[in-house]
Amino acid sequence: MNAPHYPHAWLDSTHATGSVAGVRVLDLSRVVAGPLCSQMLADHGADVIKVESRLGDETRHLGPPFIEPGQAAYFSALNRGKRSLELDLSKDDDRAVIEALLMQADVLIENFVPGTMEKWGLGYNEYLSKKFPQLIYCGISGFGATGPLGGMPGYDAVLQAMCGLMSINGDAQSGPMRTGIPIVDIVTGYNAFAGITMALLARARIGHGQRVDATLFDTALSLLIPHAVNWMASGKTPGLWGNGHPNIPTYNRFDVGDGQMFLGILNDAQFVKFCKKIGRIDLATDERFQTNVSRIEHRDILHKQIDEALKPFTRAELCASLMEIGIPAGPVHNVAEALGQAHTAARDMLVTRSDYRGLGIPIKLSATPGQAGRKPPKLGEHGPDILKRDSSS
């Protein structure tokens, strides 16, 4: 196909700074993992063009709540700092636009079912790597292209089920449960982000781009820490732990007078300090609880003893006093409470502008800090500017 020439497509000065300033990203992905990856690149200075179908990214419609008609809040969590271009990649002319944009692109991100780009004549091995040797191509998929499940579709919760995550989340009453966030999608997005930045670094050394392969399946299995190695070492299949930890009985949720808290005691010294703080030094001297191994053996009895001992305390006061003596502890907050913490504001983890509200940037760099870019785009909002042809072409 003959690619049209769009010399001004990438002239965007929104991000003049950041660790990946000047990197040009063509994002063909949708839903969570890919858009999160490209948003992180945008946060750190990349110029990201988001290519959407006529229907738009599915998360635009996953409401209520809606920020505005046709744009759910869900979409705004994953797509700030980007420009939107509306194309139908099943059409030759629109695929030619992609080729024109790739002439100046550094990174392409896609999360189509494996084989789709090849069907359109845009496969990495067969075509793009040869025509655009500097390109870093990131393919995100459920299972990858090879193996018995290669090419199959996959969503977060399905992979949580298939890869054992649900089998260790929940308790006897609830049964296996997925986590309350799309954790596999999110970490896959981070893995893709890491892979792209590593490939950018490698390109400066080896002189060409490469393919980054990020799958939900691989990510989900990689999250089985420490349960996978526990099974490898013991042969015992991990079960439902609820809020508990298989290796640390004092790493759990406990009841206090006005709610619940999570206690993080990892060693014997912390346990002794904790027992003194709550006025139950007898627990520390009880032979059933003197070591981590013995505490594991008697974990149910110990849990009941701690719950009873904490009834006179309030969660905020107790957690603060425990933290002061080196024992990690925190109140079990709801989302509103979590976002309302003074430390949330101190860490710049909320973006509150007149045109946009969202979460802050978790990766903080001292010399090249990131920043939350423009508000998430309307579908096709920047098409006219991106597709402005050179009058001489």
Grouping H, G, I as helix, E, B as strand and the rest as coil, residue 357 is strand
Please tell me the total number of residues recorded for the chain in this structure.
393
* Owner of token pair 């655009």: 132
From the candidates 185, 286, 300, 355, which is the catalytic residue? 185
Rounded to whole angstroms, the Cα distance separating 200 from 202 reads: 5
Q: Residue 165 is encoded by which pair of tokens?
A: 């995550």
If you ran DSSP here, which 8-state letter would residue 59 be given? G
* Cα dihedral 304→306→311→317 (10° resolution): -150
Termini Cα distance of the chain: 16
Q: DSSP string spanning 159-191?
A: HHHHTTTGGGSS-TTT-S---SS-HHHHHHHHH
93 is catalytic: no
Strands of 24-27's sheet in order across: 82-86, 47-52, 24-27, 107-110, 136-141, 211-215
Q: What are the angstrom distances between the C-alpha of 279 and each of 134, 261, 276, 325, 330?
A: 65, 18, 5, 15, 19
Grouping H, G, I as helix, E, B as strand and the rest as coil, residue 131 is helix
* Helix, strand, coil percentages in the chain from 3-state DSSP, rounded to 5: 40, 15, 50
Catalytic residue set: 185
